[in-house]
């Protein structure tokens, strides 16, 4: 076990250049904690917190300004996890409530196990989603340049009403159980106020986190049954305490658990780009196999109903699998390849190498993209992006699962055109 503030998790006080970030952390897929200078100037740092001191002799510190948050965002409907209640599937029990109701509980000293998670606050108040800019004023934060090469949020904010931008709010002791971010995406998280402890497990340790012969992961690394999880004793997580104002980069495919050491409010993004695209693609392939295995009885029924027509039953089975994949994690192959096409199309357009396409993706009507294609100095070269996409593209078109049909076939064809350009 690596102890707190292990030197394996580098902390840097200066703002990394993009090339430093790319070479030292993105490409080797390693975590880093960046100091408060990265987010200097965020409105949330000032408006969501206030000075606090226990006595006239003590130095003032910052604490969450609950009154301001309740007044500004009290009507927001949020999802609340109860960290004291775990269901039979190992998940924290959740409910919906207004943010003001939860804040009122906290102000009365109640509900200390409640944790506001996955709150799409930026989507709710972003100017792009409303015409009432005069009321909203300036955004409460801006995405640091290091993380602007964000294919997930670029696609989702342009073409859907969803996103992967979240706010987390909870008291000391609340936590997020051990997990890996959706389809091996990256994440970054900034503490606006408060402190967190992170346990980070490199991808090579993933098999040690699961029950033998069962797809069940450790729930809480602080309390692990050695009989059910015999491999866990051999893990060596990187453990680091994240201070107020610091931002942590969580690499692709790293399982992690997070505990609030104090009352804490943080801003988080899930994201991806060309660097970790092959890992996302491999994770999608694994998810498809997992769902196929779970639906083996349906496969047999469809095969029996079309004994002389393999193409018909395989195509029908593929449709069922993709529907369940989307229900389980919000993505399927159509979403994945539309995201890739959007990113490749944007980068090619920026460099004046844009072929004509029949754009079949419905677009969210916004006057200004929330995540426009970053300039070349804030992303890898177009040749690298193309090579990363091509490796996934070539493998996908060779898969024998009838996945490349219908709308997916249209998008894949246009990805191929972009690659050839």
Residue pLDDT, tens place only, 48-81: 999 876 655 555 578 999 999 999 999 999 999 9
Q: Provide the pLDDT for residue 235.
A: 95
Pairing mode of beta strands 114-119, 186-193: unpaired
* Spatial distance between the Cα atoms of 407 and 413, rounded to a whole number of angstroms: 10
Q: Provide the pLDDT for residue 136.
A: 45
Q: Provide the pLDDT for residue 368.
A: 57
* Spatial distance between the Cα atoms of 409 and 301, rounded to a whole number of angstroms: 26
Residue 260's DSSP bridge partners are 196
* Spatial distance between the Cα atoms of 292 and 279, rounded to a whole number of angstroms: 20
Q: Does residue 295 sit in helix, strand or coil?
A: coil
CB 216 within 8 A of CB 267: no
Longest dimension (CA), the chain: 85
Q: What average pLDDT score do residues 85-103 get?
A: 89
Q: What is the DSSP letter of 263?
A: S
Going by C-alpha positions, the residue among 411, 5, 418 that lies closest to residue 199 is 5
Q: What average pLDDT score do residues 32-44 get?
A: 97
Q: Provide the pLDDT for residue 163.
A: 93
Domain residue extents for the chain: 10-271, 277-420
Q: Does residue 36 sit in helix, strand or coil?
A: helix
Summarised one tens digit per residue, pLDDT across range 267-305 is 999 999 999 999 999 999 999 999 999 999 999 999 898
Going by C-alpha positions, the residue among 50, 52, 244, 80 that lies closest to residue 167 is 80
- Look-up of token digits 């426009």: 372
Query: Within a 13 Å sphere around the CA of 190, how many CA atoms are in the beta-carbon half?
Result: 21
DSSP 192-214: EES-EEEEEE-GGGGGGGB-TTS
Pairing mode of beta strands 196-201, 77-86: unpaired
* Spatial distance between the Cα atoms of 305 and 23, rounded to a whole number of angstroms: 54
pLDDT > 50? residue 4: no
Lowest mean pLDDT among 64-73, 84-93, 173-182, 240-249: 84-93
Residue 217's DSSP bridge partners are 210
Q: What average pLDDT score do residues 152-165 get?
A: 92
pLDDT > 50? residue 171: yes
What is the enclosing helix (H) or strand (E) of 241? strand 238-242
* Spatial distance between the Cα atoms of 254 and 92, rounded to a whole number of angstroms: 21
The b/e string for 335-372 (b: 16+ C-beta within 10 A; e otherwise) is bbbbbbbbbbbbbbebeeeeeebeeebeeeeeeeebbe
Summarised one tens digit per residue, pLDDT across range 175-187 is 999 999 989 999 9
* Spatial distance between the Cα atoms of 412 and 409, rounded to a whole number of angstroms: 5
* Spatial distance between the Cα atoms of 154 and 345, rounded to a whole number of angstroms: 12
Summarised one tens digit per residue, pLDDT across range 255-264 is 999 999 999 9
* Spatial distance between the Cα atoms of 48 and 189, rounded to a whole number of angstroms: 16
Greatest mean pLDDT among 46-55, 64-73, 123-132, 400-409: 64-73
pLDDT > 80? residue 5: no
**Sorting pLDDT into bands at 50, 70 and 90, what band is 358?**
low
Q: Provide the pLDDT for residue 138.
A: 73
Positive or negative: CA dihedral 345, 348, 351, 352:
negative
Q: Provide the pLDDT for residue 128.
A: 42
pLDDT > 50? residue 95: yes
Q: Chain-wide mean pLDDT for the chain?
A: 89
Q: Provide the pLDDT for residue 55.
A: 55
What is the enclosing helix (H) or strand (E) of 268? strand 264-271
Q: Provide the pLDDT for residue 366.
A: 47
pLDDT > 70? residue 127: no
Q: Provide the pLDDT for residue 125.
A: 83
Q: What average pLDDT score do residues 198-222 get?
A: 93
**Sorting pLDDT into bands at 50, 70 and 90, what band is 392?**
very high
CB 261 within 8 A of CB 46: no
Q: Provide the pLDDT for residue 359.
A: 56
* Spatial distance between the Cα atoms of 401 and 376, rounded to a whole number of angstroms: 37
Q: Does residue 73 sit in helix, strand or coil?
A: helix
Q: Provide the pLDDT for residue 421.
A: 82
Class in CATH terms, 10-271? mainly beta
Separation in Å, CA 198 to CA 92, 179, 244, 258: 18, 12, 14, 5
- Look-up of token digits 């309390």: 223
DSSP 390-409: HHHHHHHHT-SSS-S-THHH
Query: Within a 13 Å sphere around the CA of 115, how many CA atoms are in the beta-carbon half?
Result: 25
Q: Provide the pLDDT for residue 254.
A: 97
Pairing mode of beta strands 32-34, 165-170: unpaired
Pairing mode of beta strands 114-119, 77-86: antiparallel
Q: Provide the pLDDT for residue 367.
A: 43
Burial of 413 (0-12, 13-18, 19+ CB in 10 A): middle
């Amino acid at each position: 076990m690596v102890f707190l503030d292990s030197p394996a998790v580098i902390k840097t006080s200066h703002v990394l250049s993009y090339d430093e970030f790319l070479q030292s952390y993105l490409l080797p897929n390693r975590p880093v904690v960046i100091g408060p200078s990265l987010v200097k100037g965020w409105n949330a740092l000032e408006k969501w917190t206030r000075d606090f001191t226990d006595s006239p002799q003590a130095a003032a510190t910052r604490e969450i300004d609950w009154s301001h948050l309740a007044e500004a965002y009290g009507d927001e409907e949020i999802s609340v996890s109860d960290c004291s209640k775990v269901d039979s599937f190992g998940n924290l029990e959740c409910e919906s409530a207004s943010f003001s109701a939860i804040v009122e509980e906290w102000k009365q000293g109640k509900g200390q196990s409640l944790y506001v998670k996955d709150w799409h606050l930026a989507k709710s108040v972003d100017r792009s989603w409303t015409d009432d800019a005069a009321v909203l004023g300036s955004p409460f934060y801006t995405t640091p340049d290091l993380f602007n090469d964000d294919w997930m949020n670029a696609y989702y904010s342009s073409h859907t009403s969803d996103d992967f931008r979240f706010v987390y709010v909870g008291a000391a002791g609340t936590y997020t159980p051990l997990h890996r971010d959706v389809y091996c995406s990256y994440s970054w998280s900034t503490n606006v106020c408060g402190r967190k402890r992170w346990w980070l497990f490199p991808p090579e340790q993933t098999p040690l986190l699961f029950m033998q012969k069962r797809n069940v992961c450790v729930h809480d690394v602080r309390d692990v049954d050695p009989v059910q999880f015999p491999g866990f004793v051999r893990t060596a997580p990187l453990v680091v305490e994240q201070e107020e104002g610091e931002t942590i980069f969580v690499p692709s495919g790293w399982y992690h658990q997070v505990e609030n050491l104090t009352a804490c409010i943080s801003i988080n993004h899930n994201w991806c780009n060309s660097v970790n695209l092959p890992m996302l693609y491999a994770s999608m392939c694994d998810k498809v196999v997992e769902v196929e295995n779970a639906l083996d009885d349906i496969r047999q029924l469809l095969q029996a109903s079309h004994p002389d027509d393999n193409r018909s039953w395989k195509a029908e089975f593929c449709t069922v699998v993709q529907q369940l994949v989307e229900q389980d994690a919000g993505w399927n192959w159509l979403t994945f390849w539309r995201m890739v096409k959007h990113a490749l199309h944007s980068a090619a357009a920026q460099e004046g190498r844009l072929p004509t396409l029949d754009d079949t993706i419905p677009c969210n009507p916004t006057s200004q993209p929330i995540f426009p294609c970053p300039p070349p100095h804030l992303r890898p070269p177009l040749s690298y992006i193309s090579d990363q996409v091509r490796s996934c593209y070539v493998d996908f078109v060779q898969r024998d699962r009838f996945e490349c049909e219908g709308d997916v076939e249209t998008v894949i064809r246009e990805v191929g055109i972009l690659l050839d350009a």
